[in-house]
């Protein structure tokens, strides 16, 4: 149990709020467990018709807790809290909506690839700085992004790892709408309410069919990424990146071959 992820059921919507603002909502193992538990809770509760992931008006999530990265992944990827969460996210048949503001870094962006509707504030900074951290893509992003955006756009996001805005994300088809940050969650909740009024079995079937588009290939990609990610976490490149973040300086990769 952690109070860093809060859940609340309201009008058939399971609202899951990331709540660790002093650390920019960086996600720890316990928080991933809670995020995954919410999907199972929604799956097992026929009164829940959709899930809303949200943070605050200022911050969605700065991604994985960098301190936890330094400790490595506890076990095989699929058995780790983050692996379980991502695999549940990609396979659940309850619709998932996201309300995003401020930083949406790392998994804060890749988890959105498995959401059905995404609303983002005009203050959102999306980023997948995996390579920048000596790591590699995760969450199925190495498969989904090239097929959705084309190879070169995907490589730009995953290799250069720069931040991009909500307007950029809208242009790329990664989100549905750009909002005023104070209105993002309200807008997402309105969409949840509309979804909850739809015929629930038809919505579940639709999500199952959308999930099938990635299918076995998506799961295989996520597992392959997870294995390589765990290896990269032990790399000197990642050690340098984490040390640099802690020391508030730019990493220096010039001595690596
Ligand atoms: N893990 C652990 N702590 C984190 C964190 C993370 N992913 N992201 C931010 N924090 C901490 C900072 O260390 C800082 O702690 P401090 O107050 O003790 O110094 C606090 O949260 C506030 O972050 P700060 O960097 O001061 O906020 P900012 O508004 O200037 O920048 C970010 C926000 C998200 C751009 C910046 O924090 C960042 O780049 N974080 C790392 C993101 C990342 O690489 N995630 C992993 C992706 S795979």
Kindly indicate whether the domain formed by 5-180 is annotated with CATH number 3.40.50.150. no
**Which residue's C-alpha comes closest to atom 38 of ligand 1?**
62
The reported pLDDT for the residue numbered 135 is: 98
Ligand 1 atom 28, closest CA: 24
Element (H, E) at 188: helix 181-196
Please give the DSSP secondary-structure letter assigned to residue 159: I
User: What is the position in ligand 1's atom list of the atom closest to the CA of 108?
Assistant: 47
Residue that has been written with the tokens 């730019």 in this structure: 250
133: Cα within 13 Å, side-chain hemisphere: 27
Q: Write the residue with the smallest CA distance to atom 41 of ligand 1.
A: 62
Q: How far is the CA of 62 from the centre of ligand 1 (A)?
A: 6
Closest to 66 (Cα-Cα) out of 21, 27, 111, 33: 27
- pLDDT in the model for residue 48: 98
Domain borders along the chain are 5-180
| Nearest atom of ligand 1 to the alpha carbon of 66 | 1
Q: What pLDDT does 20 receive?
A: 98
Task: Say if ligand 1 is within 6 A of residue 150 CB.
Answer: no
Cβ–Cβ under 8 Å, residues 211 and 90: yes
Per-residue model confidence (pLDDT) at position 1: 72
**What is the pTM assigned to this prediction?**
0.97
Phi-psi region of 101 (alpha: psi -120 to 50; beta: other; left: phi over 0): beta
User: Could you tell me which residues are beta bridge partners of residue 96?
Assistant: 51
Task: Specify the pLDDT at position 74.
Answer: 78
38 vs 215: CA distance, rounded Å: 22
Contact 213, 77 (CB under 8 A): no
**Could you list the pLDDT tens digit for every one of the 257 residues in the chain?**
789 999 999 999 999 999 999 999 999 999 999 999 999 999 999 999 999 999 999 999 999 999 998 887 878 899 999 999 999 999 999 999 999 999 999 999 999 999 999 999 999 999 999 999 999 999 999 999 999 999 999 999 999 999 999 999 999 999 999 999 999 999 999 999 999 999 999 999 999 999 988 778 999 999 999 999 999 999 999 999 999 999 999 999 999 99
């Amino acid at each position: 149990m952690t109070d860093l992820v809060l859940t609340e059921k309201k009008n058939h919507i399971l609202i899951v709020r990331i709540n660790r603002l002093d650390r920019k909502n960086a996600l720890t193992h316990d928080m991933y467990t809670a995020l995954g538990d919410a999907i199972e809770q929604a799956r097992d509760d026929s009164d829940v018709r959709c899930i809303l992931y949200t943070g605050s008006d200022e911050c969605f999530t700065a991604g994985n807790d960098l301190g936890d990265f330094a400790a490595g992944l506890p076990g095989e990827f699929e058995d780790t809290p983050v692996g379980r969460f991502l695999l549940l996210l990609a396979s659940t048949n309850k619709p998932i909506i996201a309300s995003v503001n401020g930083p949406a870094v790392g998994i804060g962006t890749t988890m959105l690839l498995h959401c059905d509707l995404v609303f983002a504030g005009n203050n959102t900074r999306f980023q997948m700085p995996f390579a920048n951290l000596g790591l590699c893509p995760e969450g199925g992003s190495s498969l989904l992004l090239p097929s959705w955006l084309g190879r070169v756009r995907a490589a730009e996001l995953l290799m250069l790892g720069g931040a991009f805005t909500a307007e950029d994300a809208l242009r790329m088809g990664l989100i549905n709408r750009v909002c005023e940050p104070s209105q993002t969650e309200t807008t997402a909740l309105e969409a949840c309410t509309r979804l909850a009024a739809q015929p629930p079995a038809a919505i579940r079937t639709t999500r199952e069919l959308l999930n099938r588009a990635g299918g076995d290939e998506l799961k295989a990609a996520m597992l392959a990424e997870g294995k390589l990610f765990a290896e990269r976490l032990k790399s000197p490149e990642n050690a340098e990146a984490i040390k640099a973040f802690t020391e508030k300086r730019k990493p220096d990769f010039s001595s690596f071959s």
